[in-house]
Amino acid sequence: MCGQSVVLTVSRAAALSRDWGSRISRLLFAAAFLAAATALHAQQLTFSADRVGRIDRAMQSYVDSGFIAGAATLVMQHGRVVYQGAYGWADRERGRKMSGDAIFRIASQSKAVTAVAVMMLVEEGRIALGEPVSRYMPTFARTAVVARSDSARSLVPAKRLISIRDLLTHTAGISYGTDPQVAALYEAKGLGPAAGFGWYLADKAEPICVTMDRLGSLPFVAQPGEAFVYGYSTDILGCVVERVSGMPLDQFFRQRVFDPLGMPDTYFYLPEDKRSRLAAVYAPDESGKLSRAVLGSRGQGHYVEGPRASFAGGAGLLSTTHDYARFLQMLLNGGELDGVRLLSPTTVGLMTANQVGTLYSPDGYGFGLGFRTTERLGGGGLPFSIGSYGWGGAYQSTYWVDPAQGLVALFMSQHLPNVQPNVANRFVWLVYQAMVPGPAPTTNPA
C-alpha cells in the first residue's frame, strides 16, 4: 500500500507538472502576443493612401444603405490634417448636402469643454477638486439617495458631501432622472422625462443655475463615490464655473476657450446668419427608415429659435469638426495651441488618466476628469492605443485623442436616437486600419 501510494503520488505530481507546464506555456504565449501587439501599437504609424480610400467607400455605403443620412469626419496626425470627408445630406429634405463646415449639435461633447473650464479655475486657485460643490450651490449641502429594495422606495441621507472631483468623474451618484425610481419626481420639476432624454435643456427659459439649484432638492440614485452614474454632473459644474468666474457660461467659453483657440463656429445658440449650416436631425420611423426628426427636445430642438437662456455645460453646445479638432489638438499638445496655453501638461495628464478604477468599466476602460480612458489594448472592443481618451454625443458623434500616434479624430452626425449599426464605432476601425508603418505623407496643417 505504501509503495502504491508513492506511485500514485508520483503520477499525480507528474500530471500536475504537465498541467502547470501547459498553463505556463499558454501564459508565456499570451504574454509574448500581448507584448508584440503592444510594440506594434507603440510604432509611429502613418496613413496609407490606398487604405484611406476604404474610409470614403465605407462611409458612402452607409449613406447609400440608409444607415445614416449624413456625416462629417476629420482626422489629424501630429497637428496636420491627414483625412477629412463629408457624406450624404446635411438636410435631405431641403436638398442640402453635407459639407466640411456643417454645424452639429454635439450634446455630451460639451462636457469636455466644461471640464477644461473647471480645471482652468483649479489652476488659478479658485476651485479645489476635493471641496464640496455645496460651497457654490447650497441646495447640495444635504442631498438624499434612493435606497433600492424589492418592496419599496425610500430615501436615505447621502453619506458625505458631493465634491467637484465626484462631478468630473461622474461618481456623484447623479443620473439624468429617467430612472424608474425617481422619474416622476424629476418630471414634476421639469427634469428627467420632462427634458427629452433627461439632458436637453435648450428650451429652458431660465439660467442654468436656477435649474441646477432645483436639482439639488431631488434624490440621487447612488451614494457619492460608490458608482459611475452618468447624468447632470457636468451641468452642475457649468453652474460652478458661472458662479466662480462671475460670467455666464457662454461668455466664459467664448472669452477663455473659443476665441483664444480659434473656434468661431462653436456656440450654445446659433447666430441667425449661420442657421443654414446647421445639420438636420434624423430618426428611424416605424419601418426603421430614417426620416427628418420632429421639432422639440427629441428632434431639431431650440438652438436657433429657443429662449437662449440656459447655457448647459453638459450637452448644450454646437460645433464643427474643424473647431472641435482644434480643441482636441490643444489637449494633445498638453494644453497649448498656436502659442495659446489654456492648461499645463500636468493638468491635462491628470484629466486624461483613469481616476475611478473599475467603476466605469471592467473591460479595459477607465474614466478621468471628463474623459473615458483606454487602459488596455482592445478595451471596449475597439483598437485605441493605451492612453487614448475621448467620448461622444447623443446624436451619434464620437471623438478621440491617441497620444501614442499623435492622433485626433472626429465623426459627427445627427441621429437621435443612435442608429444601428453603430457607424461611429465602425469609423474608429476604419481609421486604424488605414495606419501602417512607413514615411509620413505630405499633408496640410489644420
Looking at residue 220, the DSSP 8-state letter turns out to be B
Residue 3 reports pLDDT greater than 50: no
The amino acid at 237: L
Extents of the domains making up the chain: 46-110+248-254+261-445, 116-245
Phi-psi region of 150 (alpha: psi -120 to 50; beta: other; left: phi over 0): alpha
> In the chain, pLDDT over 70 holds for what percent of residues?
88
The amino acid at 80: R
Q: How far apart are CA 323 and CA 74, in angstroms?
A: 11
Residue 8 reports pLDDT greater than 70: no
Same fold, 46-110+248-254+261-445 and 116-245: yes
* Average pLDDT across the chain, whole number: 91
Which CATH fold topology does 46-110+248-254+261-445 show? Beta-lactamase (3.40.710)
Is 189 exposed, middle or buried, given 0-12, 13-18 or 19+ CB atoms closer than 10 A? Answer: middle
Confidence of residue 224 (pLDDT cuts 50, 70, 90): very high
For 231-270, give the DSSP string. STHHHHHHHHHHHHHTS-HHHHHIIIIIHHHT-TT-BSS-
Whether the Cβ atoms of residue 166 and residue 172 lie closer than 8 Å to each other? yes
> In the chain, pLDDT over 90 holds for what percent of residues?
83
Q: Which of 46-60, 92-106, 228-242, 287-301 has the lowest mean pLDDT?
A: 287-301
Neighbours of 401 (CB within 10 A): 23
Q: pLDDT digits over 349-399, tens only?
A: 999 999 999 999 999 999 999 999 999 999 999 999 999 999 999 999 999
The set of cell numbers assigned to 386 is 493605451
Q: What is the CATH number of domain 116-245?
A: 3.40.710.10
pLDDT at 10: 39
